Amino acid sequence: MKATTKQVLTGATWLVVLLAMIGGTMLWQQQVHKSKPVTTITVTSTERIPMVLLLDDHLTHNQIQQLTAHIQNSSATQTLVTAKITATGTVTFKGQLLNSDNRPYIQVQLPKNLDSNRQTHLLKQLLTAARQQFKFRRFNLVSYGRGGLTATNYVEHTTTSLSPQHLVLMATPFNGASRQSNNRRQTTPVAAKSQTATLAKLIAHRHTIDSKMQVLIVAGKAIKADQPLPLQSALAGQSIFKPVVKVYQQKVLRSWRTQSGLLNNHQIGNTIQTFIN
């Protein structure tokens, strides 16, 4: 009789333990599957803000494709269209944007062999037409080589409403391409006595630049090769923008060996996207 009672008590004990385990498991599952309130919501802007590309008109088609591919590195899903204007002011567009293109690319093409004032006028006309065509209000301007000189002259002679939010100037020969007395292998500003007429003129008109614009100047430096563009010339724009705009940055991208400036530098895309975003 005692043995039977002991067995019954033992069985009852195990039954209680088993029921407790089952109940605990069901409660845990209920808590896991219970929906939790959202405390943080990240909203991506749907406003269309294109990146306008103003590249050196001496670049070959392959070089343009190469540089554009690096710039598009982190947002390759966005469409690239071309906007072209003739010397007489005729504007044509190649390509269409999708509704999902909120950060597209617009490569602008200006006529060659025109003076800076005429190019600035045509660029203003082209951007005005592009805003109407592709329905955007704000934009960022990214330039390369001599396109940077045109971009600088443009922001000095345009209206606030047509000024870019961000201006990126890559490998721009602000103080020419001479490696002799004009430019040194250093990042300091060019002395007044060594400034070319182009740089001195741009410095003289810097007070007209929109101070809200954010500016990034990018220069390339090879560890084992002669630079196509002197480092000090590429960074000479600091004398134009640094005293005027509230946000100014300059960056030197180094690579082991390059004969074509920043065209082959894979860091350029992330550098630009990080600055603009």
Summarised one tens digit per residue, pLDDT across range 205-255 is 999 999 999 999 999 876 655 567 889 999 999 999 999 999 999 999 887
Summarised one tens digit per residue, pLDDT across range 103-119 is 999 999 999 989 888 99
CA 265 – CA 277 distance, rounded (Å): 20
Q: How many CB atoms lie within 10 A of CB 199?
A: 25
3-state secondary structure of 4: helix
| pLDDT > 50? residue 161 | yes
Domain ranges of the chain: 1-39, 51-276
| pLDDT > 90? residue 265 | no
pLDDT at 39: 34
Structure tokens at 276: 């603009």
pLDDT at 27: 43
3-state secondary structure of 61: helix
For residue 182, name the pLDDT band (cuts at 50, 70, 90). Answer: confident
| pLDDT > 80? residue 179 | no
Is it true that domain 51-276 has CATH number 2.70.240.10? no
Q: Is-contact 250 229, C-beta < 8 A? A: no
3-state secondary structure of 183: coil
Q: Please tell me the pTM assigned to this model.
A: 0.80
Query: In Å, what is the CA distance from 246 to each residue of 215, 249, 272?
Result: 9, 10, 18
> Three-state SS string across 10-52, please?
HHHHHHHHHHHHHHHHHHHHHHHHCCCCCCCCCCCCCCCCCEE
CA 255 – CA 240 distance, rounded (Å): 27
Structure tokens at 170: 């890559």
For residue 41, name the pLDDT band (cuts at 50, 70, 90). Answer: very low
Per DSSP bridges, beta strands 105-109 and 91-94 are: unpaired
Q: How many CB atoms lie within 10 A of CB 170?
A: 29
Buried b (16+ CB within 10 A) or exposed e, 177-191: eeeeebbeeeeebbe
Find, among 88, 129, 90, 87, the residue nearest to 106 by Cα.
Answer: 129
